[in-house]
Amino acid sequence: MADLKPSRRIRHLFAVNPTAVLQLGLWGALSIALMTVDHRYHGLDGVRDVLATAIYPLHVLVRLPTDAHNWLTEKWASRSVLLEENARLREKQILLNVQLQKLTTLEAENRRLRSLLESAVNTPERVLIAELLAVDFDPYRHHILLNRGRQHGLYVGQPVLDQHGVIGQIIRADLLTSTAILITDPNHALPIQINRTGVRTLALGTGRLQELELPHIPHNEDVKVGDVLVTSGMGGRFPRGYPVGTVTAVEFDPGSPFARIIAKPAAQLDRIREVMLLDSEPPLMAPDSSGAVAAWTP
């Protein structure tokens, strides 16, 4: 018992870190500096790129149980189930083929009419499939992380769709992953057109996955519940004519100059698993450029 100094364990029981405040100040200042640089000047894209690539294996790990389950289900699916699915898919393909034939005729006709009018012809787009890796923690910020990046040819501003309609657009393309903003994000505005009447307006995100808001539509405008909204092609980000949603509520408040119009997105934003990325570079410009609106400004 020569050693009278309190043991390490005992010392730690009562230790108060004298530099805690200093540390907090340093780290706090560093994070505020980081946030400012990141938000205002986007000066950290290189750093983020490196870190995002380093973290990529973790995303793969998170997805592993789901992927393994899918793989196993496919591997062990019984013959009858597969045959049934095969038959169903074949039937569907025949149906789609018939519709496609009609579409080809229509497209040719459309092209001819457009060339008569001497307006820009819609070039066919290339489509890339990406899978969802993660959803933003923040329930009010509708950002999703996708498993394709610059290496696969993604670029900022690229339109993202699912099989039902427009989902959003890419706002950051890292090397292997990319972040997309959904059309329901409060900071997103999408130039749209009401299919029935041709009225052009914006679809603003509300922060709720089932709601879009259509601002600045006067009371006397012809808008009905059930009207289909499509992209208008204004702003040059989204090609024309993709479904965006349907109008679900039209309210007239005599006190306000505009009608309150709410729409529901066509895409199933709460059930995203796979998305389609349209490659329409160079950006399609709308034939008539009056009142062009930038779809998203950082």
Partner 1 sequence: MTGAQPTGRWVIALSLLCAFLLSGMTWPGGLDRFRPDWVAMVLIYWCMALPHRVGIGVGWGVGLFLDVGRGGLLGQHALALAIVAYLTLQAYQRIRVAPLWQQTFSVLVLLAIERILIFWISGVIGYPPQDWWYLAPAVGGMVLWPLLFIILRDVRRYFQVS
Binding site for partner 1 (CB under 8 A): 3, 5, 7-9, 12-15, 17, 20-21, 23-24, 27-28, 30-35, 38-39, 44, 47-48, 51-52, 55, 58-59, 61-62, 134-141, 143, 145, 172, 177, 179, 186-187, 207
Write down the least CB distance from residue 63 to partner 1, Å: 9
Q: Whose Cβ is closer to partner 1: residue 38's or residue 221's? A: 38
Shortest gap between Cβ of 290 and partner 1 (angstroms)?
29
Question: 45 CB contacts (<8 Å, ≥6 apart)?
Answer: 172
Is 182 or 230 the residue whose CB approaches partner 1 more closely? 182
Contacts of 205 (CB under 8 A, 6+ apart): 142, 182, 183, 184, 185, 186, 187, 188, 189, 212, 213
Cα 196 from chain centroid? 26
Angle at 70 between CA 69 and CA 74, to 5 degrees: 115
Report in angstroms how near the CB of residue 55 gets to partner 1 at its nearest: 5
Q: Which of 201-211 are b and which e, b meaning 16 or more Cβ less than 10 Å from the residue's Cβ?
A: bbbbbbeebeb
- Are 188 and 213 within 8 A, CB to CB? no
Q: Which long-range contacts (CB under 8 A, 24 or more apart) does 20-28 make?
A: none
| β-pairing verdict for 243-251 and 260-265 | antiparallel
Give 114 or 260: the residue with its C-beta nearer to partner 1: 260
The token duo for 164 is 């039902």
> Which residues sit opposite 260 in a β-bridge?
251
Smallest separation, CB 13 to partner 1 (Å)? 8
Tell me whether residue 44 or residue 228 sits nearer to partner 1 (CB atom).
Answer: 44
Tokens of 20: 């805690």
| Residue 264: CB minimum distance to partner 1, A | 18
Our CB check for partner 1 shows the closer of 173 and 223 to be: 173
Length of the chain: 298
Tokens representing 36 are: 């400012």
Q: How far is the CB of 237 from partner 1 (least distance, A)?
A: 20
Smallest separation, CB 87 to partner 1 (Å): 32
Return the number of the residue (21 or 116) whose C-beta is nearest partner 1.
21
Alpha helix segments (H runs only) across 18-175: 20-36, 45-76, 79-117
Judge contact between 201 and 214, C-beta under 8 A: yes
Task: Please say which residue, 52 or 229, places its beta carbon nearer to partner 1.
Answer: 52
